[in-house]
Structure formats: C-alpha cells, structure tokens
Structure 1
Amino acid sequence: MNWRLATLSRSLIARLVGISLLLLLLVQMAGFALVRNSIDRNARSQIAHTLDTDENVWRRLLEQNAERLRQGATLLTADYGFRTAVGSGDQHTIQSALENHGQRMGAAVVALLDTQLQVRSVSSDKGLGTFDQALAQVLPTLSASEQSSQISTVHGLPYQFVLVPMRAPVLVGWVLMGFPINQPLADEMQQLLAVQVALRVHGTDGQWGVPVSTLSAPALAALRKHSSEAVTELTHGHDTLLVRSMALGQEGPEQAQALLLRSVDAVVAPYRQLQWLLAAITLTGLVLFALGHGLMARWVTTPLRSLVLGTQRISRGEYDMPVEHTERRDEIGLLARSFDRMRIDIAEQQAEIRHLAYWDRLTGLPNRERFRNTVLAAISAHADYSPEVTSLAVITLDLDRFKHVNDVLGHAFGDKLLQAVAKRLREQIMAHGDMVARMGGNEFALLLRRTDSHAAMVVACNITQSFERPLAFGDQMVDLSAGIGIACWPQDASDVDTLLNRSEIAMYAAKRKLNGPQLYDPIMDSSSAQTLSLLTELRRAIERNELRLYLQPKVPLQGKPGLAVEALVRWQHPQRGLVPPMDFIPFAEQTGFVRQLTLWMFEESARLLADPRTQGMGLRISVNLSTRDLLDPELCERLQAMLVRHGVLPQGFCLEITESAIMDDPQRAEAMLNRLSQHGFKLSIDDFGTGYSSLGYLKRLPVDELKIDKSFVMGMEHDHDDEMIVRSTIDLAHNLGLTVVAEGVENAAILERLRALSCDEAQGYHVSRPVPVDAFLSWHAQRAWAQETGR
C-alpha cells in the first residue's frame, strides 16, 4: 500500500491534478479573502453612515425632550393660580403646583427660582441639595438663553435641564425643570432605529460606569472593561460593534457620554450566507475539477505509460512488439507512431550492427569476434569427449606482400584480391560446421571440426597449392603466397584465446622459415615469452641500477688535440648476466622506452664530464638519439636541465642521429636539430651512406660531423668501390665544412688508409672495444704514457 501511495505521489496524474487544484484553490482563497474584506469594509462604511443618522436622531430626540420640558414649564408659568401664588407668596400653593406639574410631565425635579436664580420652592421633598453642583454648572448658561437646554450628571446619571422665565410683565422668577436621561429614552431610541444605546459616565473614582444600556450582558461587560475614554469599536465573542461616541453636557467631575452602537456582524450576516454558499460552490467545483482533471490526466497518461513500457522493451532489446495507441489522431498518437517508427529503425540498425559486429563487409566472411565465439562454442561442445574421440584445429594464414600490392596497384585492387582469397578458402571447407573467417587486414583463419593435426596439415597444403594458381584481374596477374600456421585443441591449447594465439605463433614461424605450413611447437614462442619478460624487467632496470655506461674511443688521425668517445649502454642482468644491446634496444625503440634509455645515457655522460678524473682531457662524448627522441618536443629542455644540474657545457657532447631517424619525419627532425644546434650541441649523422634521401637535406641541416657506416669502412681494404665511396664521402664532408668519423676500423691497414684519405677520426675494435668507464680511463692513461715515451 505504501508503495502504491509513493508511486501515486510521483505519478504525472497526481502532479497534474495536485498542481491544478492547488492553483485553483489559491485563486479561490484569494477571491474569498478579497470578497470578505470588501464586505467587511463596505459594512463598516454603511454602519458609519447609519450612525451619522442615528446621531442626528438622538440629538433630535434630546431636543424634542427639552422642548417638551420647556412647554411644560411655560404652561406652569402661565397658570393664573400659580402666578397668583407666586405673587402672594403662597408657599403651599407653589409647592403643590410644582409637584402636580412635575408628576404630569414626568420630571425628576421642578423648582421655582427668584430673579437671582435662588431657589424659592422645589417639587421634591429632598430639595435641590442633590442637584446643587449640577445646577451651578448649568444655570448660568440656561439663564443666558431661554431656548437652550443643558445636560449634567448627577450621582452617575445624566439629567437634562431647562429654565423658563416667568414675567408679570417683568421678570419675577424662573421655573427650572429637570428630566433624567434614563432607560426609557434609550429603549425608545432602540425601538425607533434598532440601534444599541449606552450612557457612559466617568465617575469621581476614575472608573467608567454604564447606568443606562440596551446592550446584551456580554456586550455590556465588554464595555465596562473598556477603560479608555475614546471607544470606536467593541468586540465580544464573535461579534464586533462599531461605536459612535457623543459627549453629554459640559465638562465636569462626572463626564458623561452617549454611545450609539451597531453590530458589524448583523450587517454582514446576509453576505456571510452568500459567502458560505460561494464556499460550498467552490468546494463542489474543486471536487468536480479534480475528478474531471484526473480523468483527463488519466486519458493522457495511460497511453504514456504504454509508451514507457514500449521504451523499456526497446531498451531490453525487444523490438518485435508494436507500440500501442498508434491509431489515435492526436499528439499522443503522433508520439506513439514516432516511437513505433523508432522501434523499427532501431531493430533494423541493431540487425545491421550485429551483422557488422560479426561479419566482414568486404568479403562476407565472419570476423574475428564471430570466429572466436564459434571456436569457443565448438570447444564447449567437445569438452565432454576425450581427445582420442574428437579434436579441432585452427589454421591461421597471412598473405605475403599484400602491403606491396596495395601500394603499387591501389586499395581497390587489394580489396578484390581479398575477396578472391576468401572465395578460394571457402572451397577448402568440406565438413558441416567448419568456418572461414577474416581476422583483419590480410589475415584469415579456418576452423576445422573433428580434425587432428595430420588432417589440418593436409588442408593447409591444399590451400598452399590453391595459391599457386595466380589470380587474374583483367590484364593484371598476381601471384599468391601466405604464411600458414596450425594449432589443435586440446593438444596445443586448452582455451580459445590460447588456441588462436598459438595458431598465429605458428603462422609467424612459417613466414620466417618460408618452407610451408607449420604446426605449433612450444619452442616457437619461448623466445617471445623471453622477450616479453625482458621488456618487463627493462622497465625496472634503471630503478635497480642495472644499466652500465660503456665507452668506445675515437682517435684523431690528423694530429688534432682532444679525445672523443661514443657512449653505449649495457645491461647487467642479475640472472641473465650481460644482456647484448640487440636483445633489448630494438624492443625499447618499438615500445618508446628508448627515450628513458637516452636520458639515462645523457645523464651518465654528463656525470662523467663533471668527474674530476676527466678534467683536462678535452673529452667529447657522442650520444645516440632515436627517432622517438627527435619527435619529443621537450628534449632540449630535458638535456639543458641535466647540463645545469651537473655544471657541464653542451660543447662536450656530440649527438648522433641516423639517416633513417631524420627521414621518418624530416620537418620535425629538422626543427629539433636546429634547436639542439642553437643550444650548443655538436650534431653528427650516424651510419652515413646507408640512407636514400639524406643528401637533399644535408646542406640544410645544422650538422657538424658525418660518420661513415662500418659496412663501407670494413670493405675498403679489399673492395675498390667501397674505398671510392669512403673517399667521396670524406671529400664531400670536407667541402661542406664537416668533420668525418669512420667506424668499423678493424686493423692497422684500414687505419692508415683512412689517415691517408684525410679522415678526421677513427673508431673500431682496432682502436678499442667498448669498455666500462674505469677501463676507458686506464686505456687513456696508457695511451698518453705511450705518446709521451714514444712507444
């Protein structure tokens, strides 16, 4: 269940519906809040206008009450009996008239005042003692204006007073009438306008009292808790009352306020019902929207799920099942048809890729990978049988001189040749399950099931005989030959890779021996294993200090001072002894390790020049550079760093470069030689005369020396042509301003002949064999002693 909920939460349907509902809900909530605020604002504005009317009505009500009091007081002053009693001073009659008239008017107090506003008689038995303070505030104002009325608070209750003069015809007195503003007046106001009324009195104790109110008990309690003078809004429970406050009477110890209150909720209540109806409509709309959007999303995502399943099948390599919903005419259908087209295209491409992965396009034969898998399957199928019952053989062949055919006749002709070879090889396959494959380039292989070494040799000889018939392509005839090797399972190998490898070893042995097909023999790859072992150990020889520096002297023939030597490397192997250079130098050149050997030789030579034992000799050391050295862009910087490290000069070195090294990449070699010459190194062309193209570059290269190859020097004693070559080379070098070194000097006769030909230096076994450094120093000391003693 949790998995389904998690899947639903991550599904497109849930996201679409959720986001849409959220957006809709946010819009509805924003609209709801806006409407609610607008209703509340409009309600408050409406109540404010209504309170303006309520305030006017309240003031008018007070004025009407005051007018009623004045009329009653005026009637009293006009009463003949009352006037007669006032004139005669009949106190009893005056008192009776005041009481009777006050009861009829509902006045709280009726009093007769003299012209000095002093009390002559009062309707109340208590007198005016209770009203003394209030009258002191209102009488001056009332006497100044006959039509006015004044309100004053007496013991926590507001009273409205009027004062009417009594004339006969001159002023003979005043009639005062007071009326309490109490609950009946508030009730009347509420009945007239449905407004709540409250009288609020600030007592001498500092507290606000509410003697008159039409409020409910909770609202009244909230008002009594309100201690501030200004009240604009009153809240109790969930109801809010807007308040209009009016002062009653003049400022005094007991300040009074009339409060008119109207409920906001009462005004908003009809709109609240509309809001709840809107909320219900919104909720219903959300539910309907969610259902409709969910159905629409499912209508969209259901085919998308089918497409996802289709892509998953395609990713697993299942291309046979068509994609669903391709019949739809909308965008989903277009997408489904595109996926189905992609499925068909990928299936076709995969089929082509599988064909290219296992078949050779040119010849139509299986390639190396398919051949290996077939051999592996054949070995697995025969694994349960003993070697006496069944075996299989692999024949590998490599065409001779195929590169020459490509170079001379072109690659198109070479392709036709390979196709013809494939056809002839197919003719040699007789048994079911055998296979011919092209392993790459001009190499082919045959798998022979249930075949021993003798039967495989017969097939190989048949292939050789079939190649004896030249191939004809139009007017062009091509002779075929190939090196053929045979290896058998399980006699020669126990697994497929070893079997193929040993078949190739036998094939390479056949190409070397040139005496027909060769069966695999363990002796054939012992040298290869030894070479691989030597290369592995050579990489650690420098770290283990197994390399040795040997020197072969070069002697001057024309009496010039100085001594030159050629630096050579020897490997003192801890088990194999002194390994000949030809056993590891060629392989070091093939693998690129020769650059490390060159740097090691230069380092040791620089160390020798810095040795105090060689100081004063005028020694110059020649170091050989390979093709890979010339192509190293950092060679100059590395050699210069060694010179600085040992404190020697570049003039103490002569760098020897073979013609073939220069001609492998003439432009880069020339650029590197120029840089070396600019750094002060002397440059020499080694094995001069064995190349083909160096004469064209000789005049441009910054070389200082030519070194004649020993093949010419050793033969000049008996071969006049070799002597002429040596003579011509010496003359050419001298004409170009170069010195000449002849190597391969094996006897004194050759040495003297070279001296006669003006050769500058000689090197060879007659002078000295390559010797270690200490032996060279001894040789030099003996030679110097012999020259001094003339021996």
Structure 2
Amino acid sequence: MRARLHFRSLESRILTLFMLLIVVVQVVGLLVIQGGIESNARASIAQELTNGGKVFRRLMEQNAQNLRFGARLLARDTAFVAAIGNNDESDRATIESALANHGRRIKASASMLVSAEREISATTSDVHAAGLKKLVLGMLDQAEASDGANGIGIVNRYPYQVVVMPVKAPIVIGWIVMTFPIDNQVVAEMRNISALQTSIVTHDGKGAWLPVASTLPLPLATALVQHMEAARPAADGAFEAQLEHDRYSARRLELGEDAGQGVSVVLARSFDEAISEYARLERWLLGLTVAGIIVSAAVSVVTAKRIAQPIRELVTVARRLEKGDYKGQIEFVREDEIGTLAHAFDSMRDGIARREQEIRRLAYWDTLTNLPNRAQFVLHLQDSIAEARKHESSVFVLMMDLDRFKHVNDVMGHSFGDALLRQVAGRLQLTLANRRNTSAQVARLGGDEFAVLLPDCSLDLAQMVARALLESLETPLSLDDQMVDIGAGMGIAGYPLHGDDPELLMSLAEVAMYTAKQRTEGAVVYDAAFDQSSAQSLSLLTELRNAIERNEFRLFVQPKISLATGKAVGAEALVRWVHPERGNVFPDQFIPFAEQTGFIRVLTRWMMEQSAMLSQQLASQGIDLKISVNLSTRDLMDQDLPAKFADLLARHQLAPSAFCLEITESAIMDDPVRAQQTLERLHLMGMDLSIDDFGTGYSSLAYLKRLPVNELKIDKSFVLNMEHDTGDAKIVRSTIDLGHNMGLRVVAEGIESEAVWRLLVLMGCDQAQGYFMSRPIPGGDLAKWVTQWQAPEGLGEAAAAPGASVASVAK
C-alpha cells in the first residue's frame, strides 16, 4: 500500500513523466529515422533498377552492333561472295567452312546462309537452323532495308541474339545469319557494370518460367522466378522477393518473343546491402539515446525533489482549509514560484471565507428582487409543513404568473422587464405587510413566477390573501413615464388538503395557476380534475400527432355557388378526423385545442397540401373551382407562410388564383401589424383573401378597409333565420352593401332553404354555401357533385321570396 502511494506521489510522477517523454521522443526519432532510411533505400533501389534496365538494353545493343560488324566482314569477303554467286555444289564446302571459321572468331554459337530464294542453304547447326528458321525469314526484309537486323530467338528454352546481314553483289544474293547466346557472360558483365543481380529467364507457350543464366546461385535464381510468378508484378514489372535472409526489390524487363516463347531479364537489388551503410549510424543513435535517458533520469530526480518537498507542506495547509479553518496565516517564505503559491494560498483563505457567505446568499436569494428563490422557498415550505404536522394546522401555497409579461419584455426590452419585476415584488411585499398574517413569505421562483407561503392559514384566508394580491396588481404600474397594466393568474394548494410534500404542493399550485390563466378567473384552488384534464390534453396532442402520421384526417369540401348563375364557383376545404376508436371526430372537438397548442400549423400545412392535390385533380378534369382554406391566428403570425405557399404552388404547378385564404376577424386583431404584413405578402402573390365570420368580431372598420382582402363571408348565425328575423335580414343587407361599397365579393354561409336563397338574390349577395346546396362531402366526390348539380329552376330570378316583404328586407 505504501509503495503504491509512493508511486502516486508528485515526485514519482514528475520522474515518470520526464522519463516517458524522453523515451517516447527517442523511440519516435528512431522510428522516423528508420522509416526515412527505408524510404530512401526504396527510392534509391527503384532508381538503380530503372537505370539498370537502361544499361542492360544498352549493353544488348552494343553486343548486337559488335555482332553485326563481325557478320558484315564475312558478308563483304570477296571469296565468300564469289562462292555464293557461283551457286555451285563444289563451293558448298567452302561456304560452310567460312561460316564455321568466322563464327568461331566472333564466338557465334551457330552460323547460317540463307539463299536468294530465302531458303537456308548452309548451316553449322541444324538445331539452330530448325529452331530459328521462322524468326530469321521474318527478319530478311528488315536486314535488306537497313543493311542488317538483329533480334532475339529461343532454341530449346535458351535465348540467342540473332544477327542477319545481307550479302550483296551488288544486289542481294543471300543473307548471313549469326546467333550468339545470351548466357552467364552477359549477366556477369551486367553485374560488373551496375552491381545489380541479373538473371535471364525464358517462358514457354504455357507461361512456365525457367532461369537460364544468373549472377545468383541457381536455387536463389529459381526462388526469384517463383516469387515473380506469385507476386504478379506491377505495370513496370516491379516486385519484391525474400531470398533466404535477404529482401530484394526486383524488376522484370521484356527482351523479346519467338514463336510464343519469351525472354526477359530480371534485375534485383538487396535491401540489406542498400541500408548496410546506415547500420552504424543507428547503433550510434541508440547509444546516445541510452546515455540521454540516464542523464535525464538523474536530473529529473533532483528537480522532482525540489518541487515536491515544499508542496507537501502546502498540502498540510490545504487540509486545514478543507476543514474550514481559515484563521491561521500561512508562513512560508520563498522567492520563487512556490513562494508565490504560498502567498496565493493565503489570499485564497480570505477569499473563500468571503465567497462562502456570498454563495450562500446567491443559492437561496433572488438577485433581482432580493426575495427568496425557489430553493429557499422549498426549505421554508418544508419547515412549515413539519411545524403544521406537529400542531395539526394548515399551510397554503399561492403561485402566480404575470399576464403579458413576455409581450412587455419584447416591446420595452429586458431592462424595463427587470424593473417591472422589482416593482411587482415590492407591491406584493407591501400588500402582505398590510395583512394581519405577518408570517406570510413571498418568493420569486424564476421568470415572471412568484409564490407566497401562508403558514398556519385556512383555505378561506388563503383565498382572501390571493384576492388582495390580485387586486394590488390591478393598479397600473408606472415605469419611465410608461403606464403598464398587468395582471396575473394564481393557483392555490395546501397541506393537508391536497398533499404533504413540498414539491408536490408547488406542482399542484402550478397546475391550478395555469388553469386560472386559461379560464381567466384570477385565483383558482387546485382540484384533482385539473390533472385529469391536463392528462387528456396531453393525450389529445399525442393522438393528433399520430393522426397526421397514420393518415387519419380526411379532406371534406362544401361547394360555393354563384347566386347570379347558380353554378358552382368554389368550395371551402374542411377537415374530418376518422379516429380508429372514437370514429368520426368533428372539428369543434379538436380544432380549438390545436390552435391553443400550436398544432394548427401542422394541420394547416396538411390542409393546403390536400387542397392543392384536389385542385390539381379538378383542373385535369376541366373543372375550375377556387378552393377556400381557413388560416388561424398562429398561421398569420408565421412570417414564412408566403414562402411555404409559394413552394406548394410550384410543386403542384398551380396558379395563386386557385386558392382563397379565409381569416377570421379575431385572428387579424390579435396582432394587426404582423397580420397585415403577412396578408399583404400573400396578396402580392395573387391569392384571394377573405374575412370569415364577418360581424361576430370586434374589428375596426377603419382598420379593415386597409387590409388587402377580396371577400367578406357573412357568418351563418345571421343567415340561418333571416327569413323570420327582420333584424338578421337588416344586418345581412347592411353587410352586403358594406362589402360592395368596399369593392369586395360577399359570400353568405348557412343557406338552408330556398326562401333564404331568394332573399340573398334580392339583396345582391354574390355567392353562397350551405346545406340547401350541399352538405360537406369528401373531396374525392366533388367532381361528381359538380357534374350532377343543377340549380332549381327560377332561383336565379330576382323574384320576391314567398311570404317575405321585399320592402321590409330592403329597409
């Protein structure tokens, strides 16, 4: 155990680190140098092999020139030429003797004479004559044209350099052929010139290789050929081979072919020979490495001891600080970095003591309002519950969230919002101070949320305190010459009425608070039904998301008819939900929730996509109808909405005039500036815009006249009973006149009888929709409905409806 601790000491770590660094640096250096040596050796050998190939070819050319010179001497010998020219049988022995004698002088392995009729007429070797006949006859024309030719021939797997020289008197009367072996003499000469191991190899028609001459011993030459066959050399013929204990880099060069057989030269260079001159350098480097490690170890030991000893003394001081003892001053005098560290420790001791107090304040108090924060509030609530449990009393929690605070922050800025929160905190504290229950505590939980703790309090008293706090916020706040009207929603929960855990009570109070904000009821006491409603809402949102993914929504449409012609001119797109368990779910059961949660944007995109597909199908059948789609408040607040519509129109190749977008008055008035910006961009694209449910909102006509709309839709609540209600009829007539005076198209919805149709015709209404013409039908049935629809006879005529007074309607 002590050995392990000693190894973990700073002293041992410094020593280990230094040693590791030196060893790593030296090893990396060795590896890099070895890699460089290897790389340089490979590059050098590759260059040697390339140059060797050039040297060997040059050597072969020189040999060929020498042989051609020797053959030329015989071809120009007067007696030899005369003997050939006589073409007498008595001169045949003279010719053969001349071929043999001259061949011995120039060390030819065989000599031949080819007659003018291109037949071998004399030879010193029948074997060579038979083996080289085809090659020789193929070289005659080249020899005659170039005053000699040379090539490579193979006889019995052995290569020969063949020289053909024409005999002229003055025309060609024959050809002299001399063959010279490519044997050990050639490879030995190559070895002397280049220091490369040289091997001559041949292969037969089946591709079997045979070494015929080599500067290597026969077993090594045979092994080299086997490596060449197995390695499949690269395009330049390069390959590597391991011969006994040496590595070789080799390259094969083609010399020639004869009757399907080939001859090549294999040049090889030993790696070990190439890098042998660097071995001494590596040994020196290794020695220097060992010496450097020994010296560094000694220096590291001294340095580690000098650093570690004073640090051990500082460790003792740090442990004292760890226990919270900040009183003793550190006495450590040194003029180096260790002394500076000791002085820093002393300063740290004073700083820690001050910051502990500050951290405690920050951990439990809100810096903006100087009120307890959530952590402190939970501790107080926990203590109050424990005290109430002892005395069998009650504790209540009030949680409140300010209304429209985010809007204030966005419009006036965060500094204004912070000042507002400070004023709200002051007003809450003042209100509680004026109450008899002086033990109440207010806290800021975060953002614009506040909480009030009421220990030893009844439910009635808690509700009274809640009302007093809400009333205190009804008076507008004054900040920077700005009057801010702000309210709040408040939830109430208590022990033991609702729970006995602090976090649970705060959670229940929060549920009640959000319920209060939704209902705009001020203060609401928690009820278990709230949680059930929250769970149902969460379940409904999940089901809506699944409905999109599972394609449970269906597109329905309700046709729109021109009252002047009785023809279908458009259709309003509607949505139906075919739930797998609930069956058909009507829009009023899920659309308000979708608008509240923001899911309406997803649903609007689905409606636009389905409506675009329907419009495309109708156009392909020659039916031109304008599809009306409803937009919600959240849709109008989406600044990217025009770009999304443009993409939709481009994908389905539709004109903007194929759609009419319907917006309710309330949706416009929630944020008139942003709504108008979005509507203007849609209008510039060429889309018709309609104000839906006109007459039920609270919009200003002065504002509405600036909107780029094309249509007004009269709400069905005014149309359904207008034949029996003079007041509704007057409203409808006034709305029609208003729309026409503003240059707008007017559409009435909720037409359920012929009498209402006739009244609308008299009033000059442009279009209508309702059950009288058609109930909502699936989108796929719209084309069939259009072809079958016929307006009842006479409905387009401007005749008074039975039982109705035209004059009364007009008035």
* TM-score with structure 1 setting the length: 0.51
Q: Deviations over 1:564-606 (max 9, x none)?
A: 1111112233344443434432332343322221122123223
Q: Distance in 2 between matches of 1:694 and 1:354?
A: 59
Structure 2 counterpart of 1:587, which letter? Answer: F
- Residue in 2 that maps onto 1:461: 464
**C-alpha displacement of 1:541:** 1.0
Query: Which residue of 710, 718, 723 maps to 2:727?
Result: 718
Q: Distance in 1 between matches of 2:501 and 2:16?
A: 57
Query: Which residue of 569, 574, 578 maps to 2:580?
Result: 574
Tell me, what secondary structure is at the counterpart of 1:563? strand
Alpha carbons of 1:634 and 1:551: their partners in 2 closer, same or farther (altered >3 Å)?
same
Alpha carbons of 1:756 and 1:478: their partners in 2 closer, same or farther (altered >3 Å)?
same
Contact 1:17–1:294 at 8 Å: present in 2 too? no
Q: Distance in 2 between matches of 1:347 and 1:693?
A: 64
Q: Distance in 2 between matches of 1:456 and 1:582?
A: 37
Alpha carbons of 1:506 and 1:725: their partners in 2 closer, same or farther (altered >3 Å)?
same
- Residue in 2 that maps onto 1:523: 529
- Residue in 2 that maps onto 1:420: 427
1:537-616 map, 5 Å: 537-559=543-565, 561-611=567-617, 615-616=621-622
1:456-535 map, 5 Å: 456-462=459-465, 464=467, 485-493=491-499, 495-507=501-513, 518-535=524-541
Would you say 1:395 and 2:398 are equivalent positions? yes
**C-alpha displacement of 1:759:** 3.3
- Residue in 2 that maps onto 1:277: none
- Residue in 2 that maps onto 1:445: 451
**C-alpha displacement of 1:789:** 11
**C-alpha displacement of 1:549:** 2.0
Tell me, what secondary structure is at the counterpart of 2:662? strand
Contact 1:717–1:750 at 8 Å: present in 2 too? no
Query: Which residue of 785, 790, 802 maps to 1:784?
Result: 790
**C-alpha displacement of 1:718:** 0.7
Q: Distance in 2 between matches of 1:728 and 1:648?
A: 33
Structure 1 counterpart of 2:370, which letter? Answer: G
1:241-260 map, 5 Å: none
Contact 1:457–1:486 at 8 Å: present in 2 too? no
Structure 2 counterpart of 1:11, which letter? Answer: R
Bigger Cα displacement from structure 2, 473-482 vs 440-449: 473-482
Q: CA RMSD in A?
A: 5.6
Q: Distance in 2 between matches of 1:767 and 1:318?
A: 87
**C-alpha displacement of 1:708:** 4.9
Query: Which residue of 4, 7, 22 maps to 2:6?
Result: 4
Q: Deviations over 1:154-211 (max 9, x none)?
A: xxxxxxxxxxxxxxxxxxxxxxxxxxxxxxxxxxxxxxxxxxxxxxxxxxxxxxxxxx
Q: Distance in 2 between matches of 1:674 and 1:477?
A: 32
Alpha carbons of 1:668 and 1:393: their partners in 2 closer, same or farther (altered >3 Å)?
closer
**C-alpha displacement of 1:4:** 2.6
Q: Distance in 1 between matches of 2:404 and 2:8?
A: 69
Contact 1:16–1:297 at 8 Å: present in 2 too? no
- Residue in 2 that maps onto 1:733: 742
Unaligned runs of 5+ in 2: 26-290, 798-811
Q: Distance in 2 between matches of 1:643 and 1:440?
A: 46
Structure 2 counterpart of 1:730, which letter? Answer: G
Structure 2 counterpart of 1:394, which letter? Answer: V
Q: Distance in 1 between matches of 2:540 and 2:482?
A: 46
Tell me, what secondary structure is at the counterpart of 1:11? helix
Structure 2 counterpart of 1:422, which letter? Answer: Q
Contact 2:560–2:568 at 8 Å: present in 1 too? no
Structure 2 counterpart of 1:536, which letter? Answer: T
Q: Distance in 2 between matches of 1:600 and 1:472?
A: 44
Contact 1:708–1:740 at 8 Å: present in 2 too? yes
Contact 1:509–1:524 at 8 Å: present in 2 too? yes
Alpha carbons of 1:519 and 1:427: their partners in 2 closer, same or farther (altered >3 Å)?
same
**C-alpha displacement of 1:364:** 3.3
Tell me, what secondary structure is at the counterpart of 2:578? strand
**C-alpha displacement of 1:652:** 2.9
**C-alpha displacement of 1:518:** 4.7
Alpha carbons of 1:349 and 1:580: their partners in 2 closer, same or farther (altered >3 Å)?
farther
Q: Distance in 1 between matches of 2:338 and 2:487?
A: 63
Structure 1 counterpart of 2:727, which letter? Answer: H
**C-alpha displacement of 1:550:** 2.4
**C-alpha displacement of 1:680:** 5.5
Q: Distance in 1 between matches of 2:673 and 2:486?
A: 38
**C-alpha displacement of 1:491:** 4.3
**C-alpha displacement of 1:429:** 7.8
**C-alpha displacement of 1:500:** 2.0
**C-alpha displacement of 1:16:** 6.9
Q: Distance in 2 between matches of 1:477 and 1:22?
A: 73
Unaligned runs of 5+ in 1: 24-281
Q: Which has the larger radius of gyration?
A: 1
1:736-775 map, 5 Å: 738-743=744-749, 751-752=757-758, 754-764=760-770, 768-773=774-779
Tell me, what secondary structure is at the counterpart of 2:366? coil
Q: Distance in 2 between matches of 1:351 and 1:725?
A: 73
**C-alpha displacement of 1:623:** 1.4
**C-alpha displacement of 1:325:** 6.0
Q: Deviations over 1:58-81 (max 9, x none)?
A: xxxxxxxxxxxxxxxxxxxxxxxx
Q: Distance in 1 between matches of 2:683 and 2:488?
A: 48
**C-alpha displacement of 1:672:** 5.8
- Residue in 2 that maps onto 1:271: none
Count of residue pairs brought into register by the alignment? 518
Q: Deviations over 1:594-638 (max 9, x none)?
A: 222112212322333344799344222111234544565765665
1:175-194 map, 5 Å: none
**C-alpha displacement of 1:786:** 3.8
- Residue in 1 that maps onto 2:237: none
